[in-house]
């Protein structure tokens, strides 16, 4: 009986651990994509400003 309980608890903690890691990776990926998007937006803004300055 105790072995079954022990194994169940271990399996549950391991799945929780895996889910936590997966969640962390997902959040990290979202953060990176957001940063890339912001950098892309800034680059586009810079391009439009220089284009405006270069117009005669």
pLDDT, greater one: 20 or 55: 20
Backbone phi and psi for residue 2, each to the nearest 5 degrees, phi listed first:
-65, -35
pLDDT at 52 over 80: no
Q: What is the pLDDT of residues 2-45, one digit of tens each?
A: 899 999 999 999 999 999 999 999 999 999 999 999 888 887 77
pLDDT for the residue 40: 87
The DSSP result for the chain, as a single string, is: -HHHHHHHHHHHHHHHHHHHHHHHHHHHHHHHHHHHHHHHHHHHHHHHHHHHHH--
Q: What is the pLDDT at residue 2?
A: 85
Residue 37 in tokens: 């998007």
Among 56, 33, 32, 37, smallest CA distance to 45 is for 37
Predicted local distance difference test score (pLDDT) of residue 6: 94
């Amino acid at each position: 009986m105790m072995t079954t309980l022990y194994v169940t608890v271990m399996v549950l903690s391991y799945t929780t651990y895996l889910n936590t890691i997966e969640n962390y990776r997902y959040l990290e990926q979202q953060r990176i994509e957001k940063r890339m998007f912001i950098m892309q937006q800034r680059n586009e803004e810079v391009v439009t400003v220089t284009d405006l300055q270069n117009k005669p």
